[in-house]
């Protein structure tokens, strides 16, 4: 169990059976008044935020979270199938828990899956992934519109802005933290 003295940014606790991460913490105390521990927390499953003020003597259940390395196998309907690299066990994760990671999932990609009470609640992809461009307009030399980027669709269906010289069939590196084009993969 945690007490109010353990509260700090980044602490993960369970409230009403769901995991929350403390995103803001402030100790407040009127000179002659009670100590108050003001927090903002984010639900680690659905991202909703919560403001809570605690007092001395209150305690919290830690949120036991586990991170496992898994390999992406395939998509089935609106579920994504992964294999645990250690146990070879296969699990299926719904779109809600996948979040932005869906844009970067290609076969055999290794990802970190966050589990709360054995239930997957989040997927973290590597910071950089290489994806093939499947659709983009050809580069017109002498283009005078002054545009320094154009839209491109990659093999996962994700659309992003790329430099004009990128052509269909090329492999590009995407920064998954921003979702932006990073470099062209030569060869």
Contact 124, 101 (CB under 8 A): yes
Q: Which is nearer to another protein, 59 or 85 (CB)?
A: 59
Cα R_g (the chain), whole angstroms:
22
d(CA 187, CA 181): 17
Contact 25, 8 (CB under 8 A): yes
Nearest approach, Cβ of residue 182 and another protein (Å): 34
- If binding means CB under 8 A, how many residues of this protein chain bind another protein? 16
d(CA 62, CA 92): 26
Q: Which residues inside 45-64 make contact with another protein, applying CB under 8 A?
A: 53, 56-57
For the chain, how many residues are written? 187
Q: Which is nearer to another protein, 36 or 171 (CB)?
A: 36
User: Given candidates 12, 21, 23, 38, which one binds another protein under the rule CB under 8 A?
Assistant: 38
- Select from 14-22, 31-39, 88-96, 120-128 the region that touches another protein (CB under 8 A): 31-39
138 near another protein, rule: CB under 8 A: no
29 near another protein, rule: CB under 8 A: yes
Judged on CB neighbours under 10 Å (0-12, 13-18, 19+), 138 is exposed
Enumerate residues 6+ apart whose C-beta is below 8 A from 146.
none
Nearest approach, Cβ of residue 55 and another protein (Å): 8
Nearest approach, Cβ of residue 22 and another protein (Å): 14
- Select from 25-33, 81-89, 108-116, 176-184 the region that touches another protein (CB under 8 A): 25-33
Beta bridge partners of 19: 14
d(CA 151, CA 48): 32
127 near another protein, rule: CB under 8 A: no
Give the footprint of another protein on this chain (CB under 8 A): 5, 26-36, 38, 53, 56-57
């Amino acid at each position: 169990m945690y007490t109010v003295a353990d509260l700090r940014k980044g602490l993960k606790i369970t409230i009403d059976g769901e995991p929350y991460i403390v995103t803001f913490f402030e100790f407040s105390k009127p000179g002659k008044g009670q100590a108050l521990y003001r927090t903002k927390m984010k639900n680690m499953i659905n991202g909703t935020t919560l403001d809570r003020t605690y007092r001395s003597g209150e305690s919290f259940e830690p949120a036991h979270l586990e991170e496992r390395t898994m390999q992406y196998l395939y998509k089935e309907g609106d579920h994504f199938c992964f294999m645990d690299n250690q146990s070879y066990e296969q699990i299926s994760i719904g779109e809600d828990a996948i979040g932005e990671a869906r844009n970067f999932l290609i076969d055999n990609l290794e990802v970190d899956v966050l589990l709360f009470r054995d239930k997957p609640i989040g997927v973290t992809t590597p910071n950089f992934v290489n994806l093939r461009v499947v659709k983009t307009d050809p580069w017109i030399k002498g283009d005078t519109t002054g545009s320094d980027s154009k839209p491109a669709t990659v093999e996962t269906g994700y659309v992003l802005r790329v430099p004009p010289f990128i052509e269909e069939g090329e492999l590009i590196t995407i920064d998954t933290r921003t979702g932006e084009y990073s470099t062209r993969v030569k060869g």
